[in-house]
Structure 1
Amino acid sequence: MLPDFSRAWNQGRNLDLYEKENQAIDHGGTLWRALQNAAPWDGKDLLDLGCGTGYWLPHYADARRLYGVEPDPELLEAAGNRTQSAEILHGSAEHIPLPDASVDVIHARFAYFFPSPTNNCSPGLQEALRVLRPGGVLVVIDNDQEIGEFADLLRAGNAAAHQGPGEFIRQWWKEQGATTQPVMSSWTFESAEDLQRVLNMEFPHGTAHPWIALHPQRVQLSYGYLLHTLVKNQEPL
């Protein structure tokens, strides 16, 4: 067990329900196209940092080499069973078990990089830069706290309290030399019940109940993302 490991309240404790959440993401492909444009991985070596159960690993089939790093030991077997083309490793953002300059692209999807005045993400960022080759790209997929129905829920539940406010996050990434791109997408579920169960998982103190009461039959909600993209060796802005 890694000394700084803390199990996620959503995926770490609700595997089946989190699978439904993953299945609902970005049916229109808007986010996926933005990721491909930010850092194409065809024929390159890619690391999915914080890969969880490995849901997204099969989407990187065009990569030359594919690595999944996950700190939760209970998720490693599921990630290994997701695809035979990825090497699954026990590690974290601060402890990536790969050599220096060994990958071209890193994706971190809601993993580790939650900058705030009290949460220093610099150790993980330096570790990511260590394993990137010169010209390699780190892409962090984050929530947009300002735009979209999911952002409304975040504000209502104070669910982003462990992060700095949106302005702080953008400024932090800018100071690291990154660019930030907003991407509007959506969640689409098979049933209203699935959507409601996922919202109650993500907002466990009942703060999603007013939204659910207003939209009892909804199977979709708008979801804004931020893509923070940092190229290794790029000079700070």
Structure 2
Amino acid sequence: MKKITNKIHLVLGLGSGLVVFIVAITGCLWVFREEIKAVTQEELIIENSNDDFLSITEAEKIAHTVYPDKLIHGILYDDTSEPIEAIFYQTEPLFYSSVFIHPTQGTILKTENHLTGFFAFVLDGHIHLWLPEAIGTQIVKWSTVLFLLLVISGIYLWWPRNKKNKKQRFKFDWKSTTKWKRKNFDLHSIFGFYVSIFALIFILTGLIMAFPIVNKAVYRAMGGQKEATFLIPDGSKRDSTDTPKSIDQLLQKLQKEY
């Protein structure tokens, strides 16, 4: 049985290895994009001030001078040493940009198009492998399934047959006479076992995003009662009680409390 599993393990590694490698590298770059930007891009230097923040309605009006016909998805506030970021996002037609505003003076510091540039390229590779969406998405989805089978088969092959081999499965037990072939096998199997714990978590989260049926199953297993849905609020419509004054008062309250 282990010989058959070993062959399957090798084939699965060849089939999914390159895709998983690309997804892993681009995923790491995407996760650390803010840290990378801090090193590679010019920092917006704003002197800390005791002046009052711009209100939400003021920031909204200023941002709309740049993109008057676009929808604001959200406005991010930090402290007075950081710019206010007005995020524009809509799906049809796709538009995703940010306007950075001086938090007290109201001057526009810069704009950023999130659909172009290095990190847009990275994200496209992570999700679509730089292929047409209909093709790339399917390759990534099913390569994730193959990678799951690869990890499971690897754990099965790693599992010690007897107590004598158990010690060698958890740590290196090399001698001066240990040959390179054995060392290479130990490096793969021992590191592979410890990495597989994290790999299964990455795979599960990837499958949740890729397959609605997995998303639904995990959601229900975690205690969810209703259907799992993802909605982008329609910012073009506001509740009758959601006046500019009430929104600005909410910001003031949040700033006092936090």
Q: TM-score category by the smaller chain? A: under 0.3
Using CA pairs below 8 Å that are at least 6 residues apart, which structure has the higher relative contact order?
A: 1
Q: Structure 1 length as normaliser, TM-score?
A: 0.22
Q: Structure 2 length as normaliser, TM-score?
A: 0.21
- The structure with more helix, counted as a fraction of residues: 2
